[in-house]
Structure 1
């Protein structure tokens, strides 16, 4: 590919509907010259068909939160109204971003659509996400704003005791902005969303990309209110017990309650449901089938990233056409791997290490 062809291809990647005249104006060349270069790009297989459609690759797009996490850890019982000794870590976070990094570490071509600002935290976010293999090209950058922040205090068991999130910047993702990324979403194999997005945005995605497999992580009970009326539009949902109770309007006390909840979501139109149960494993199902997968107990370093790793495992299994039992097993192993590290995303996340955990479980 020539240097000029590379320049033209980059413009087409950013805007597949750009005209030859617009390309010529931006590169200061004639429209006829642009036409010749585009013909060559088509012959070489870089683009195809009308509208300069990029040749398809199997990538997944995640739309959701990207922020900085400030986490405090202690080995002793937390005392209220008191200064507690412990360890404080600052790392990248956000449910959508965490899922994206886990997916990238599993070898999935991953694009993240998120919003961040112009401060030093935002720059760190963009740089470190790119370094971990996430395509950040389609993020919304607002230079006059700061990155969102998630502040969490963990108890002596590695579970969250209390947290505070400043996610106001997430409201700047609008249906109009998502519309500008239609070419990215239309060519995605799977779309993953978290409920940090506004209800308007979530509805826009479900309506305009309904031919895609759209997967949901509700994030929390409070955030899940945004999807309660539209839950049936998602192909796959991954929830915890509390989110499942709220969204199904059912009290879940035992396996019968879990099965009724899964049947409720399937009846609404969801194809696959995974309800994570912490130490009790995961209850999951699809039309006409439910099952439980129980994982061994282990020492927890940090529990906050387990659900994000689990969702990445679901995406991996779906991409490779795994059956629901295999997906539950693989995703649980991914979550167990996440639990072993203090960082929200375990830097050792990989297919090989997940397979090692699966071997440990079976022994």
Structure 2
């Protein structure tokens, strides 16, 4: 694959710890678990790594602490060729962390994040770095960044496409007022409810949600529905895509992998929107069959073969 896509990921880079319940998860109680892994994570970082493994030129913009975790995160990204010159090590801050508790089936039961350091990524932090930001052809920003910063990015992007990652229900709100200013929105079912103020539990409701978001000005929207599939809108045309058959191991990170697969395809101009959705589904499929958030032994031929099995169903507008 040609290294023709130059994509900057702005947002979270921290440490993930993933544990899995040995018994059915019970809220408000002590749950016996086994530790699966502790490794670098974060939405922006997860997307950046898979983009790099897919052959893109990738940069990471954000912040870590001046501690051992921060050193490891910067080194791990640099070692695979991600540009970390905009990943700042802030004095007096510690590197954030995320803990994922999976249920017995491998689905996320509970997520906990310590992310105060990301509050330091204000518009003032990025203002002096704007010339460096503008050197990248695409921006992917995640909602771990403060609301004011996301709005600042939307105002200052110029001709650079801005892609929005909603991260979580609590943070999706940060995109709500500026969703019409983004060039691509990829969100999940629960986060789309925050953005639209309406229930999204099935395909029909997701189709209504993408139409509502399109009416606000977003030209390209994707809502991922987990085992129900994908609903997409591209310049007015709505479609449904069934999920690829998956032997589920760990669903954590599958949404980020979809984002990376889609963005890598669309940004390299190798394929149109539909082909990008298919590659996103293939990446989500491969990640869900892998422990952790990254498919390190990624084989591009396997990605392409799985993408070719994706099926689009056009829906009434």
Report the TM-score when normalising by structure 1.
0.80
Question: 1:119 deviation in Å?
Answer: 1.2
The alpha-carbon deviation at position 79 of structure 1 amounts to 4.9
Task: Name structure 1 gaps, 5 residues minimum.
Answer: 1-56
CA gap 1:254/1:85 in 2 versus in 1, 3 angstroms: closer
Deviation at 1:180, TM superposition (A): 1.9
Matches within 5 A, 1:63-82: 63-79=10-26, 81-82=29-30
Question: How far off is 1:221 after superposition?
Answer: 1.3
Q: Which has the larger radius of gyration?
A: 1
Structure 1 position 257 matched with structure 2 position 205: yes
Structure 2 CA distance for partners of 1:78 and 1:255, relative to 1, 3 Å: closer
Deviation per CA, 1:123-143: give whole Å up to 9, x if none: 111111111221111111124
Instruction: Find the counterpart in structure 1 of residue 314 from structure 2.
Output: none
- Check whether the contact 1:112–1:136 (CA below 8 A) recurs between aligned residues: yes
TM-score (structure 2 length as normaliser): 0.91
Which residue of the partner structure matches residue 307 of structure 1? 255
**Cα gap change, 1:255/1:70 in structure 2, threshold over 3 Å: closer, same or farther?**
closer
Deviations 1:214-235 (A, max 9, x none): 0001101110111111110100
| Equivalent residue pairs, number | 306
Given that 2:202 and 2:228 are in contact with CA atoms closer than 8 Å, whether structure 1 keeps it comes out as no
Report the secondary structure of 2:177's partner residue: coil
CA shift, 1:111, in A, is 0.5
Tell me which protein shows more helix as a share of its residues: 1
Match of 1:354 among 267, 289, 303: 303
Cα RMSD for the two superposed structures: 1.8
Alignment of 1:148-297 (within 5 A): 148-297=96-245
CA displacement 1:150-180 (0-9 Å, x = unmatched):
0111111111111210000001111122112
| 2-structure distance, mates of 1:199, 1:234 | 14
Unpaired runs of at least 5, structure 2: 312-317
Deviations 1:191-238 (A, max 9, x none): 000011011111111111132110001101110111111110100000
Residue 315 of structure 2 corresponds to which residue in structure 1?
none
Higher relative contact order (CA 8 A, sep 6+): 2
